[in-house]
Structure 1
Amino acid sequence: MAKTTTTATAPAPQKINLLRVLGPAHVWALGVGIVLVGEYMGWNFAVGKGGAYAALIACWFAGLLYTCVAMIDSEVTSTVAAAGGQFTQAKHIIGPLMAFNVGLYLVFAYTMLEAANAITLGYLVSQVATLSGYTGELNQSPFIVLTILFLAWLNYRGVLATLNFNLVITAIAFIAIILLFIGVTPWSAATPLKHAQLMSGSAALPYGAIGVVAAMHFGLWYYLGIEGTTQAAEEVRSPARALPFGTMAGIITLLIAATLTWYVCSGLLPWEFLGDGVNGSVAPLFDASRLTGSQFLLFMLGIGTMFSTLASANGCINDASRAWFGMGRDHYLPAWFGAVHPKFRTPYRSIVFLVPIALIFALGGALDQVVTFSILSGLLEYTFMPINVIMFRKKWPLDSIKRGYVHPFHPLPAIVLLCLCAVTYFAVFLGYGTQLIAMVGFYIVVSLWFHFWRYRFVSRGKQFTMPWPRPNGY
């Protein structure tokens, strides 16, 4: 009798992916949540650069810049719906070296912003302690560490809970700005706003036209991070609907919040105090609420400042980890970072790895320096976007692939964005030329490292993952 043997075939291991659980409201909460802290702190450094009127002009021109960013991002991301956002876009449209650099721009922009948020939260805790009668010097470091660790833990546990949390606290922080505007009754003769007195004579534009240009540096802080909505691309249920709707609703929200913030703060606080980054205002909306004499507004803006910093740091951890995860998954970084948690379905290794980096800058950096490094990384990323969308439209015309959203007036938004980026580079150079040169030098060095060493580990055949036809000209 012949002996028969059966060979059992082991089942292939199941690939674990990120969960698609997010909707348009979560995209709005991610984008606005990261940025709204810019209304609570940081934008006021623009006042120090050129005066209150210069800060308003910078606010609106930066708003135009970010409207172009939102329009371009909405089209490309709703079509290239994958974790990594602009990193993944660059990989498909331009090439590996640009993708590597864009990935680093994203990680540094969000990690520096996260550190700035933690610094602001520490300051707020010390101010609340002083108002409560505490006479000693409060150590802010434990509050900074606990904030970053708590939010990293929340991100580790799942994206849905993370962005539900962001949705609630971001909405409260936005409502607080509306309440402050209503509370100062600008339509009443008894309003405490004193624009005419505070912004008359030489205070209007103390440094002239060059001050307006210089103010563009920190004008970006009103909106920096709205492009982070792209990092949710792989976790939304309907990228074609949720990403454009959430992003465009987000930029509208921020334009309203930024204008109201400038109006109230410039009418209550002298421009010299508002723009002094050393001895002046750290949290201008909170400081403005103190001058209203209303305990309710003081409480609401204290809560709003705290919630805006938490929402921003929370979103930054989400976005930085997705960019780092995308680079790891595609072997631009060690593949170890491309792991997804089997239970929580989050890029947990990337989340944990970036925590100590954020802590180093939060505990050892000055607020204006940390803000500047975040702005510079973001600015480099925005310079890439016009090139990206022009090449995207050229390689894949509108009738060649299905897009979730088509932004109007192309290529005008790309040209406007590129021009505004050039102006902002000059503005940054006026005050922080050394930092600008140092950061550009850093990215040149890491580009050389990637080209001569890391690129050998990248699988060229697996870079292009979208089901698109061959691009025009290839």
Structure 2
Amino acid sequence: MVDQTAAPETGERLSLLRVLGPGHVWALGVGIVLVGEYMGWNFSVGKGGMIAGLVACWVAGVLYTCVAMIDSEVTSTVASAGGQYAQAKHIIGPLMAFNVGLFLVMAYTMLESANAITVGFLLDAVANMSGHQGLDQRPFIILAIMFLAWLNYRGVLATLTFNFVITAIAFVAIIVLFLAVQFGVSATPLDYSAITEEPLPYGWVGILAALHFGLWYYLGIEGTCQAAEEVRSPARSLPLGTMCGIMTLLIAATLTWYVCSGLLPWEYLGQAGTPLFDAARVTGSFGLMVLLFIGTIFSTLASANGCINDSSRAWFSMGRDRYLPAWFGAVHPRYRTPYRAIVFLVPIALIFALGAPLDQVVTFSILSGLLGYTFMSFNMIIFRRKWPLGSIQRGYVHPFHPIPAVVLLVLCSTTYVAVFLGYGTQLIAMLLFYIVASLWFHFWRYRFVKRGDQFTMPWPRPRGY
């Protein structure tokens, strides 16, 4: 059967440009994630208190360190757009690859929507402070998504250079706030008395529940894999940018918890929309308030920008391999970007940004990401078993295998329980969605896939085959 949506041959010969370096990879990974320090993570405090929020921060840090190490090894070897989708395609098989591709697109598109919602919320909060009540947030949400989609449409180098600048400013803002509080700039002293008075207000189950939103500190660092086909030296740039990114985020996450938990009551912190900005307001310093406002805006824009980049690459790769209509696999003849995938995903992001509450959008993103991390555990073990060390060239070899994969699987399983406690209906709905999508792919879409064209790595026959 012929796929009537196939792109013309002239469009298929175009490829993405290799123009990125390690700094751009760092900007992509950290840029997507740093917004988690500015909003979302604090819901973990609301679930279990200050101690539970800190435990969630560090446990999630271990989980994502495992993710970063595993991704650095596999992606530096499978240097193809699509990231984990390309890994699944080469290592496990088509059905898993299709699902992983959907995990990526859903996780990044939902995160993009959450960022746009945060932009509107922050501007509304500032308007209320200045006496202008009832600001309509919708035009700002639409403008943010449309502007960043246009930037991605025009080229990856400008997109990620922009990300590097605004991500660096947002990260420096967190450092400045920490130093300012430490050196007495704040009119409100740090107060951690709640740790001794109410260390675990909801008991040990609060720690388990807090793990759900602890992921928000780091969710998206795996997005560095999506740049694999556009970096100049994948074997060097991807591991370096990814590992530097996770170290940056571990520092930022710990400082964020320390400052916000010391300045804001945990009951308020657990439901705040923009905790770092609120912490800056509590200090009484106008300069810090302006800086953290800029940092919050920049972090949300950097995250949404990176999400558009990553979701479009995953969608583009699936179209190029005909897992989706091949029309999506086109590359712009001038800008060399996956422009059709970029444009197609814009209205989906807008629908969720304009019509869904923030915590629901965050949960959808976390659940899709969590399913992807579970896949990574099995993917790493199968990868090492099929192609042991020495059988193929690797750009990076992560240590202590298989411990990171096992730890990742255990932490993912624990987090599923945490998500089920608070959002069981959403978890079941997402699983049903992916089951239905899998049936559609198996019984209909797979007939269009050119099976010989999708395996592009010049690897030897796997061990045991």
In structure 2, the partner of 1:168 is 165
Residues 396-419 of structure 1, C-alpha deviations (whole Å, 9 max, x = no match): 111110000000000000000000
Q: Distance in 1 between matches of 2:213 and 2:186?
A: 32
User: For 1:410, what is the secondary structure of its paired residue?
Assistant: coil
Q: Is the 8 A contact 2:186 2:283 kept in 1?
A: no
CA shift for structure 1 position 391: 0.5
Q: Is the 8 A contact 1:54 1:212 kept in 2?
A: yes
In structure 2, the partner of 1:266 is 261
Q: Is the 8 A contact 1:328 1:337 kept in 2?
A: yes
Taking the TM superposition and a 5 Å limit, the aligned residue runs for 1:21-60 are 21-60=19-58
In structure 1, the partner of 2:207 is 212
CA shift for structure 1 position 185: 1.6
User: For 1:253, what is the secondary structure of its paired residue?
Assistant: helix
CA shift for structure 1 position 38: 0.1
Q: Distance in 1 between matches of 2:399 and 2:10?
A: 46
CA shift for structure 1 position 189: 11
Structure 1 residue 408 corresponds to structure 2 residue 394: no
Q: Distance in 2 between matches of 1:239 and 1:419?
A: 30
User: For 1:461, what is the secondary structure of its paired residue?
Assistant: coil
CA shift for structure 1 position 460: 1.2
CA shift for structure 1 position 331: 0.2
In structure 2, the partner of 1:157 is 154
Number of aligned positions between the proteins = 457
In structure 2, the partner of 1:247 is 242
Q: 2:439 aligns with which of 448, 451, 461?
A: 448
Structure 1 residue 383 corresponds to structure 2 residue 378: no
In structure 1, the partner of 2:6 is none
Residues 329-370 of structure 1, C-alpha deviations (whole Å, 9 max, x = no match): 000000000000000000000000000000000000100000
CA shift for structure 1 position 14: 8.3
Q: Distance in 1 between matches of 2:344 and 2:90?
A: 26
Instruction: Choose 188-197 or 451-460, whichever is displaced more.
Output: 188-197
Structure 1 residue 222 corresponds to structure 2 residue 217: yes
In structure 2, the partner of 1:237 is 232
Q: Distance in 2 between matches of 1:423 and 1:224?
A: 16
Cα 1:208–1:423, aligned 2, differ >3 Å: closer, same or farther?
same
User: For 1:258, what is the secondary structure of its paired residue?
Assistant: helix
In structure 2, the partner of 1:6 is none
User: For 2:457, what is the secondary structure of its paired residue?
Assistant: coil
Name the % identity: 75
In structure 2, the partner of 1:354 is 345
In structure 1, the partner of 2:4 is none
In structure 1, the partner of 2:5 is none
Q: Is the 8 A contact 1:198 1:267 kept in 2?
A: no
CA shift for structure 1 position 191: 7.4
Q: 1:275 aligns with which of 270, 277, 280?
A: 270
In structure 2, the partner of 1:74 is 72
User: For 2:322, what is the secondary structure of its paired residue?
Assistant: coil
Residues 87-108 of structure 1, C-alpha deviations (whole Å, 9 max, x = no match): 0000000000000000000000
Taking the TM superposition and a 5 Å limit, the aligned residue runs for 1:318-329 are 318-329=309-320
Q: 1:464 aligns with which of 447, 452, 455?
A: 455
CA shift for structure 1 position 12: 8.4
Q: Is the 8 A contact 2:35 2:299 kept in 1?
A: yes
Cα 1:12–1:228, aligned 2, differ >3 Å: closer, same or farther?
closer
TM-score of the two chains, using structure 2 as the length reference: 0.97
In structure 1, the partner of 2:197 is 201
Q: Is the 8 A contact 2:185 2:285 kept in 1?
A: no
User: For 1:17, what is the secondary structure of its paired residue?
Assistant: coil
Letter in 2 for 1:140: Q
Letter in 2 for 1:311: A
CA shift for structure 1 position 129: 1.6
Q: Is the 8 A contact 1:226 1:251 kept in 2?
A: yes
Q: Distance in 2 between matches of 1:287 and 1:381?
A: 33
In structure 2, the partner of 1:192 is 188
Q: Is the 8 A contact 2:219 2:366 kept in 1?
A: yes
Q: 1:305 aligns with which of 296, 299, 323?
A: 296
Question: Which has the greater radius of gyration?
Answer: 1
CA shift for structure 1 position 307: 0.1
Q: 1:371 aligns with which of 356, 362, 367?
A: 362
User: For 2:169, what is the secondary structure of its paired residue?
Assistant: helix
In structure 1, the partner of 2:140 is 143
Q: Is the 8 A contact 1:97 1:451 kept in 2?
A: yes
Q: 1:127 aligns with which of 111, 125, 128?
A: 125
Cα 1:171–1:190, aligned 2, differ >3 Å: closer, same or farther?
closer
In structure 2, the partner of 1:103 is 101
Residues 417-465 of structure 1, C-alpha deviations (whole Å, 9 max, x = no match): 0000000000000000010011011101110111011010111111211
Q: Is the 8 A contact 1:59 1:259 kept in 2?
A: yes
In structure 2, the partner of 1:178 is 175
Letter in 1 for 2:164: L
Residues 292-326 of structure 1, C-alpha deviations (whole Å, 9 max, x = no match): 01011000000000000000000000000000000
Q: Is the 8 A contact 1:193 1:264 kept in 2?
A: no
Q: Distance in 1 between matches of 2:12 and 2:442?
A: 33
CA shift for structure 1 position 162: 0.1
Cα 1:132–1:67, aligned 2, differ >3 Å: closer, same or farther?
same
Q: Which runs of 5+ in 2 are unaligned?
A: 1-8
CA shift for structure 1 position 199: 3.0
In structure 2, the partner of 1:290 is 281
Q: Distance in 2 between matches of 1:464 and 1:473?
A: 18
CA shift for structure 1 position 181: 0.3
Q: Is the 8 A contact 1:185 1:191 kept in 2?
A: no
Residues 238-289 of structure 1, C-alpha deviations (whole Å, 9 max, x = no match): 000000000000000000000000000001111111112xxxx100000000
User: For 2:452, what is the secondary structure of its paired residue?
Assistant: helix
In structure 2, the partner of 1:433 is 424
Letter in 2 for 1:70: A
Letter in 2 for 1:199: I
CA shift for structure 1 position 195: 3.0
TM-score of the two chains, using structure 1 as the length reference: 0.95
Residues 14-58 of structure 1, C-alpha deviations (whole Å, 9 max, x = no match): 821000000000000000000000000000010111001101000
Please give the root-mean-square deviation of Cα atoms over the aligned residues, in Å: 1.4
Q: Is the 8 A contact 2:187 2:284 kept in 1?
A: no
Q: Distance in 2 between matches of 1:394 and 1:59?
A: 32
Q: Distance in 2 between matches of 1:196 and 1:216?
A: 21
Q: Distance in 1 between matches of 2:194 and 2:156?
A: 45
In structure 2, the partner of 1:397 is 388
Q: Which runs of 5+ in 1 are unaligned?
A: 1-10
